[in-house]
Structure formats: structure tokens, C-alpha cells
Amino acid sequence: MSKPEVQAFFDEATFTVSYVVSDPASGRAAIIDSVLDFDPASGRTSTVSADGLIAYVKENELAIDWILETHVHADHISGAAFLQEQLGGQTAIGRGVTAVQSTFKSVFNLPDLAVDGRQFDLLFDDGDTFDIGSLSASVTATPGHTPACVTYVIGNTAYVGDTLFMPDFGTARTDFPGGSAAQLYRSIQKIFALPGDTRLFMCHDYKAPGRDEFAWETTVAAQRDGNIHVNKSVSEEAFVETRENRDRQLGMPKLLLPAIQVNIRAGRLPDPENNGIRYVKIPINAV
């Protein structure tokens, strides 16, 4: 089994973990779930987070082949468009992005938005494979949190997006449009079917109560044994009940509205209006 080099970058503003996954043999690499910093109060973006990834790529003389998203994020703006300008590589996401685009095209009233995923260079179907230098990678559709969610399996590692969180924190919410707790349970079973020692990398960490440090790496075996929401002894029915009860108590992520309308466009900000300024829209009483 090939062993990629994995470097994590944690964004404390949105609790997001981005990864640079590289092939030590060739120096080819992929970026997974990058962040464009955005302060909603001032409307200012910055590239501090993305610049950290770029510095790592340059220091290690890596060549970026892929800029991957595990799903259309609702809690941060993707850095994919900026990183592609700076580093090249192809952007890709699961084909389910088309369902997310269709939903939000009407919410945001974007008549010109294409809903066939063409904003990305490539759309992955379940079971697709690709290479990062000498590393083989595959795509597993893991819907449930959103319809577009995929897990990337690269050598002995897997990037699960928002399916699982660390074992002591559980699982991701399933109350966004197109989400489903039952579907998430079945997707998680696919992750549990990977070899037990597969290194699993989370997209978020919120520090479970009683834990002092952020953490984002675990294993399939640790999840199967001890995830507080879904482990080898939890039935689908029990999980759906836990998950739906929890979802009823959650507020909306504070960047949901800005993030979705940019991320359905592969991280490209809306075009400037005739005064040269770009705007994000806030639909009133529509979500």
C-alpha cells in the first residue's frame, strides 16, 4: 500500500482542516478542502490560510495536480480558485455538486448559473480512480451530510470530509438540503469497510468536551470501535434518531450563505458589478 506524505493546516476561524497530500517518490501532490479567509462583518477576504499551503508546496518543491473538494462546504469559502491561479492543478468534486447547484440556483436567484458542474475541471463518480504521481487514489460517494459528499482514498489514507468527525465528537449534521441521516449511516459503513489501519483525516474538529487539543487524524478501527454516534454496535435506526435529534438543536453556520454561493462556483467569487465591487447575496427568509 502506498504511503502519501500528509500535511494538515488547521483554520481556527472555521475549524476546518485542509490537507496537502503528496507522493514522496515524485513530488506530485493534491490539495484537499482549502480555505479562503472571509470576515463577514467587514466583507473582507484574505489569503493567509491559502498562503500557508502555498509556502509549504514551494518549500517542498511539490507540483500540484489536483485541488479537491470533499463537498460544497457551508462553513467556509473554498480557496480552490485562488490556489489554482497560484499553483495550477485541476479542480474536482463529486458529481452530486449538480444537485447542490440546482437547489441554490433558485435560492440565490442566479439565472446564469450552470448547474452541470462545469465550474469544476472534473466531476467524480463513485468508484472513479486517479493518480497523484505514483500514488493511486479512488473516490467513494459518501452522501448524507450533502448530496455531493465524497471520500478520497489515497494509498493508506482517507479524507472523509463531513461524514465522520473524531470518534469523541461523532458525525456531521444531515439537515442541509438533500441531506439524510439514513444515507449518512450507509456512507459511513463504506468507510468502516476500509482496512482498520487506514489513516482517516477529518475535515473539521471542534474539540470534544474534555479534550484540550484540536485533533483531525484517527483510524478506521478507532471509528468502528468508539465513534460516539455510529460504531460497529449502532444500528441505522438508532443512529438516525440520535442524528436527527441533534440536528434539531443546531444553529446555521455563520458563513453558510456567503460560502454556498461561492463554493457552488468552485470558489470563484461573484463577478464585480459595474462599480468594480463584488457582492454576496443574503436571501431574506428563504433558507
Where along the sequence are the contacts to Fe ion (CB under 5 A)? 73, 162
Of 23 and 162, the one with the shorter C-beta distance to Fe ion is 162
Of 54 and 264, the one with the shorter C-beta distance to Fe ion is 264
Q: Which of 167, 161, 166, 127 is nearest to 144 (CA)?
A: 161
Of 22 and 227, the one with the shorter C-beta distance to Fe ion is 227
Shortest distance (Å) from residue 172 CB to Fe ion: 6
In the bound state, the residue with its beta carbon closest to Fe ion is 162
DSSP letters along 66-112, please?
EEE-SS--SSSB--HHHHHHHH--EEEEETTHHHHHHHHHHHTT-TT
Shortest distance (Å) from residue 55 CB to Fe ion: 26
Shortest distance (Å) from residue 272 CB to Fe ion: 28
The contacts of residue 244 (CB under 8 Å, 6+ apart) are 174, 175, 181
Shortest distance (Å) from residue 197 CB to Fe ion: 26
Total H helices, total E strands in the chain? 7, 14
Shortest distance (Å) from residue 145 CB to Fe ion: 6
Of 28 and 73, the one with the shorter C-beta distance to Fe ion is 73
Is 245 in a helix, a strand, or coil?
helix
Of 19 and 155, the one with the shorter C-beta distance to Fe ion is 19
The contacts of residue 3 (CB under 8 Å, 6+ apart) are 24, 155, 156, 157
Task: List phi, psi (to 5°) of 173.
Answer: -65, 155
Is 45 in a helix, a strand, or coil?
strand
Q: Is 15 left (phi over 0), alpha (psi -120 to 50) or beta?
A: left
Shortest distance (Å) from residue 175 CB to Fe ion: 12
Of 27 and 253, the one with the shorter C-beta distance to Fe ion is 253
The residue with cell 444500528 is 235
